Amino acid sequence: MIEQPKLTIDFLIDILFKRNLISAEHRSSVLARYKSQEARLAAGPQFAGRRMHRGGEMPSPAQVLASFNLETPGGNGRILSEDAITESLAAYLNIPYLKIDPLRLDLDVVTSYIPRPFALKHLIVPVEARDGELAIAVADPFNDQVLQEFSTAHRIKVRRILSSCSDIQKLLREFFGFRASLAAAENESSVNIDLGNLEQLFKLKGENEPEGTDRHIIMAVDFLLSYAFDQRASDIHIEPKRDKCLVRFRLDGMLHNIHLLPKQLHAPIVSRIKILSRMDLAEKRRPQDGRIKTSHNSKEVELRVSTVPTAFGEKVVIRIFDPDILFQELDSIGFYAREYALFNSFIHRPNGIMLVTGPTGSGKTTTLYSTLRTLSSPEVNIVTIEDPIEMVMEEFNQIAVQQAIGVTFGNILRTILRQDPDIIMVGEVRDKETADNAVQAALTGHLVLSTLHTNDAPSSIARLLDLGVPSYLISATVIGIIAQRLLRRICPMCKVSRRLSHEECKYLQLTEEATVFEGEGCKECRGTGYKGRTGIFEILEINDRIKGLITENLDLGDVVRAAEQDGFASLRKLAVRKMLEGVTTYDEVVSITG
Ligand SMILES: [Zn+2]
């Protein structure tokens, strides 16, 4: 009898090397790093005697290998992922590979054959039952004995499929929990109805759905929120359709379908969210706004919730304010050196106005909040005027605009000047009163940060003139204007290179041929080819050269030409630079700065 092979790191590295997914030098260096890590873990008392990759407490060899973020040979910076490793192992062993998509799984199949603790212990999960045969996804292809025993005990034919350890763990731990809670809630309510018990139906007042206080619904909403945090979603949309409830997440600026749920779960889920955000439960015909303060991975996350009645019920949008996204180190949000130096010089001036411009969703709030956090200290009084307050922060004094009762940007600004602020952040300059008061604040020794709705930095000067600010006051107070955009980053897991065509080069005014990169689309990036975003910052410094051009007869062309003498780089130019560096794609450059 041939001895059963074991899924060890050596075995895996050998296969990856044979399949040209790992280079010769990585092959030996990784092995050494792994051995030292393994020795360290084995030495710890809590791991003594524990098996390496069965219990789920210890990472599997594929997870460890993936954690090294190795570049594949000739892969143009493509990173060796756990999925790629697992897929390669499956191909080598001639076993079908499955990337687990929880949306496509049948809950009954996943839950009814194998108890969860057993499944977690052996990292196996049933994924399909057909024609008297059960397909079971396994993380360890050599863990045959468990499947054989299972097959004998249950008298069912078993087919083995290989999936990544992370996918199986995730399915069993998180997503599984969400689906199970929903199913339980759904079952309990339908039990009531199926009984045909008139008295119970009467008690339910004709409602065939569980309540928002049902413990399964509470758990399901908790799972949904934490899943959104894990995915770094910026928004959750819960939309009633005619006979379904659609849950979508906004990831890197794009909406993705996440769940399609039975319609009777829509109302209780919405109720639960309304309870959490302290809205009026009974009010279903008017839009409402609320907030939820919660925590994730021991940090506070703020959610802004809004409901709107639609033809099929209340639609809920939850905007997620993740402090890790809103507050970032200024040197990590995408600035190039020249722009970073200018930006820093603006925010450290004692007085003047700095404007950030760009459309909604271009990252202005992150830039401003991160700046305030940088400037915040016990000696400085920071006041913000926002509509509405994006995220409540104790170290700032935040005031919310309330248009309905006449509390506007303009009149709050006038009032707070008496409150001795040092730095003032005004959510947006959108009228003459606000503009005038911002100018006053700057003239009386305050640093004012604000936003404007313009497409680029130079045209902000024209916008201020349109608002009625005299040109000499613009020259006297505005110190710098930043126009910004967010560009999607290419997914490192499916990055490929290509030559730009002659037409494309011409369109971007590139004089020589260029190689660019793009994502082919993989499971890691949900087929989009992108993962994460970075900022580009067009900065116009209002120096003496520019001041001389700010007149009532402003010529924006003159302003741009003058700025270029000082090294001004437009959004387009900055985006092209990110593209040539392999950070983003040609398509993204065209769509964001087109
Ligand atoms: Zn990808």
Listing DSSP states for 103-131 in one string gives GGS-HHHHHHSS-HHHHHHHTEEEEEEET
pLDDT value of residue 129: 87
Would you place residue 526 in the very low, low, confident or very high pLDDT band (cuts 50, 70, 90)? confident
pLDDT value of residue 41: 63
- Identify the architecture of domain 209-321 in CATH: 2-Layer Sandwich (3.30)
pLDDT at position 189 over 70: no
pLDDT value of residue 112: 75
Q: Where do the structural domains in the chain lie, given as residue ranges?
A: 9-93, 209-321, 327-487+533-570
Ligand 1 centroid to Cα of residue 254, in Å, is 15
pLDDT value of residue 190: 44
Ligand 1 centroid to Cα of residue 529, in Å, is 5
Ligand 1 centroid to Cα of residue 85, in Å, is 15
> What's at 508, amino acid-wise?
L
pLDDT value of residue 7: 84
Ligand 1 centroid to Cα of residue 256, in Å, is 15
pLDDT value of residue 175: 59
pLDDT value of residue 289: 93
Ligand 1 centroid to Cα of residue 84, in Å, is 11
Ligand 1 centroid to Cα of residue 279, in Å, is 39
Mean pLDDT comparison of 47-56, 380-389, 398-407, 531-540, highest-scoring range: 531-540
The CA–CA distances, whole Å, from 479 to 1, 64, 156, 351, 353 equal: 80, 50, 75, 9, 6
Ligand 1 centroid to Cα of residue 79, in Å, is 10
Ligand 1 centroid to Cα of residue 59, in Å, is 23
Instruction: Tell me if 586 sits within 8 A of 500, measured CB to CB.
Output: yes
pLDDT value of residue 42: 61
Question: How many percent of the chain have pLDDT more than 70?
Answer: 89
Would you place residue 259 in the very low, low, confident or very high pLDDT band (cuts 50, 70, 90)? confident
446/256 Cα distance (integer angstroms): 43
Ligand 1 centroid to Cα of residue 531, in Å, is 7
Ligand 1 centroid to Cα of residue 240, in Å, is 31
Ligand 1 centroid to Cα of residue 582, in Å, is 14
Would you place residue 176 in the very low, low, confident or very high pLDDT band (cuts 50, 70, 90)? low
Ligand 1 centroid to Cα of residue 99, in Å, is 13
Ligand 1 centroid to Cα of residue 490, in Å, is 8
Q: Given the DSSP bridges, would you call strands 530-541 and 235-240 parallel, antiparallel or unpaired? A: unpaired
Q: What mean pLDDT do residues 162-180 have?
A: 78
Q: Of 525, 181, 100, 540, nearest to 342 (Cα)?
A: 540
pLDDT value of residue 51: 39
Q: pLDDT tens digits for 203-230?
A: 333 344 566 677 778 888 888 898 888 8
465/469 Cα distance (integer angstroms): 5
Would you place residue 3 in the very low, low, confident or very high pLDDT band (cuts 50, 70, 90)? low
68/25 Cα distance (integer angstroms): 14
Q: pLDDT tens digits for 32-63?
A: 887 777 776 665 444 333 333 334 457 888 88
Q: Residue 294, CB half-sphere, CA atoms under 13 Å: how many?
A: 22
Ligand 1 centroid to Cα of residue 310, in Å, is 35
447/347 Cα distance (integer angstroms): 8
pLDDT value of residue 2: 55
pLDDT value of residue 542: 97
Query: Which of these ranges, 8-17, 37-46, 77-86, 357-366, has the smallest mean pLDDT?
Result: 37-46
The verdict on domain 327-487+533-570 having CATH code 3.50.50.60 is no
pLDDT value of residue 201: 30
Q: pLDDT tens digits for 305-340?
A: 999 999 999 999 999 998 888 889 999 999 999 999
pLDDT value of residue 92: 92
Ligand 1 centroid to Cα of residue 524, in Å, is 5
Question: How many percent of the chain have pLDDT more than 90?
Answer: 51
Q: pLDDT tens digits for 275-313?
A: 999 999 999 999 999 999 888 888 888 999 999 999 999
Mean pLDDT for the chain overall? 86
441/506 Cα distance (integer angstroms): 46
Instruction: Tell me if 374 sits within 8 A of 380, measured CB to CB.
Output: no
Q: pLDDT tens digits for 82-117?
A: 999 999 999 999 999 999 876 677 767 887 788 778
